[in-house]
Chain A
Amino acid sequence: MNRVATNLFRCRSASKIATLALLITLHLGLNAADTANDSSAASKVTVQLEAKKAGPRGVENLTQRAIVRDYRSAWTTMSHALEFNTLDPIDVPFAGDAKRVVHDTVISQQRSGIRQVFTDQNHQLQAVFYAPEGDAIELHDTASYRQQVLDGSRSIQDRRVVMYYVVLMTPSADRWVVRQMQVVQQF
């Protein structure tokens, strides 16, 4: 009788533990899903390219797709770097002066304790120049995004802005890299 009771108790305990484990798993899973959703929302970068007016060389479809992919990657990387003040990811999508400027901004932010968060990014790219041999492309990016500036954990600025970027990209071994990225008042 005692053995039966003990087994029943064990069985109920095991059932409770299993239920608890299931709840914890569900909870963690839901949280993880939320985090993933937040993260994907934060890193949402929409890029569209209009290349009909580019010259003197026409931009082929495959090249257009590669530029959109790599420019989006550059913004995702830069947003991550400026939000978490980390230099790890900037080597791949940036080169030359653009890389130097992003690097200096991150180092400067690390010193001042400032962070910038870019969300809901939309980039309307227009190719304005594509070199005769295809070794450089100049893009005009009308970028709209929500920019939050944080001093530590305190938000000191939260606004939606439209900025005008002039971008120079060049092909590297397996991708297009951003070499220049300069904001202008207007195109």
Chain B
Amino acid sequence: MGRLRLIVTWMFLSLSLALCLDGLCAAEDSGVRVPTSVIAGEPATISTMGSGRATFYVLGPGISRKSDVRLGEEIHLDSQYTRNAGAYQVIVCADTCQSATFYVTADKAAALTFLVHPSRVPVSQSNAVSGVAIPFDQFRNLIFTPLNVNFQLTTGNTLLLSRAVRTQDGVAWFRNASGRSAGALQVVASLDEVSARRVVQQVASDPCNLRIEGERTKTGIMVQTEPVHDCSGNPVPDGTIVTFTAVEQNGKSTVDAPIKQGIARAQISGPGGAVISAASGVVMGNEVRVGAQP
């Protein structure tokens, strides 16, 4: 069995060598001429050598065609067949098959895919807003030639960032701090006449200088915050929870209260005196001491 395999291998190698000496092994890929490069959506011309009839195949991204051709004549590949960038393999089969490959590259930029994060961001946060821009041509092919993408971040009339970033491997990106005031942050990426716009909602950050006041009522203690703002002066959104803690002689009690119209209020029952403090998230407020019922 092993000897038989050896003989067959030896025969195959001898035949291959003989064919190569006759110049036939170099004939592969030599009978078809393809363009060195084609722009997406442009026609391509393929030349064949020899004479007689043959079958022509072209395989590429999204395309697989077969047709009868005459060798020696040019084959025109219509622009609709070269829309997708990538490798196109041409095979021409008569007695034997010969092949060649050409590459279709992207056309000029016609669209930008623009990913921006997050959709809501607290103000004055460093590296909080990021964006990735990926240019595409009109046929949705990635463009790998370096291009300048301009990123602009504006809030109200204030320009937060204006930066040109050159694409690398087809991608440009930025990262930046959020602005100081709550409201819409306009994020724009532009490349020649193409642009993409996204909006990030800037919201107040954590409360700053949380201050409370309290007074005794008939049923207990009414405690409330002053209008709650972040450190940039933006009102903290309604619904943000403020936790009031009352330490009395008998123990401790806590009440959660949402901010409504900028102020959080809570009623703490009990006739005794208490020391009351407030917190929201990681921010602590001041303490107030309210005396016992007379």
Tell me which residues across on chain A come within 8 A of B115, comparing CB atoms.
131, 133, 135-136
Q: B71: shortest Cβ distance to chain A, in Å? A: 16
Q: Which residue of A lies closest to B87 (CB)?
A: A183
Q: Is the CB of B169 within 8 A of A101?
A: no
Which label, helix, strand, loop or mixed, suits the secondary structure of the A interface?
A: strand
Q: Is the CB of A138 within 8 A of B169?
A: yes
Q: Which residue of A lies closest to B171 (CB)?
A: A129
Q: Is the CB of B62 within 8 A of A101?
A: yes
In the bound assembly, the distance between CA atoms of A104 and B63 in angstroms comes to: 7
- Our count of residue pairs bridging A and B at CB distance below 8 angstroms stands at 102
Interface residues of A, CB < 8 Å — how many?
Answer: 35
- Chain B 162-174 interface 0/1 with A at a Cβ cutoff of 8 Å (1 = within): 0000001111010
- Chain A 141-171 interface 0/1 with B at a Cβ cutoff of 8 Å (1 = within): 0000000010100001101000100101000
Tell me which residues across on chain B come within 8 A of A97, comparing CB atoms.
140
Q: Is the CB of B173 within 8 A of A109?
A: no
Binds B, one of A20-28, A42-50, A112-120: A112-120
Q: Is A29 an interface residue (CB 8 A)?
A: no
Tell me which residues across on chain B come within 8 A of A135, comparing CB atoms.
115, 117, 132
Q: Is A89 an interface residue (CB 8 A)?
A: no
Given contacts A114-B57, A180-B142, contact A157 B97 (CB under 8 A): yes
Taking Cβ atoms with an 8 Å cutoff, the residues of A that contact B are 56, 97, 100-101, 104-105, 108-109, 111-114, 116, 128-129, 131-133, 135-136, 138, 140, 149, 151, 156-157, 159, 163, 166, 168, 180, 182-185
Taking Cβ atoms with an 8 Å cutoff, the residues of B that contact A are 37, 55, 57, 59, 61-66, 84-87, 89, 91, 93, 97, 99, 103, 105, 115, 117-118, 130, 132, 134, 140-142, 144, 168-171, 173, 175
Q: Could you name 6 residue pairs across A and B whose Cβ atoms are closer than 8 Å?
A: A101-B61, A105-B61, A111-B64, A132-B132, A149-B89, A151-B93
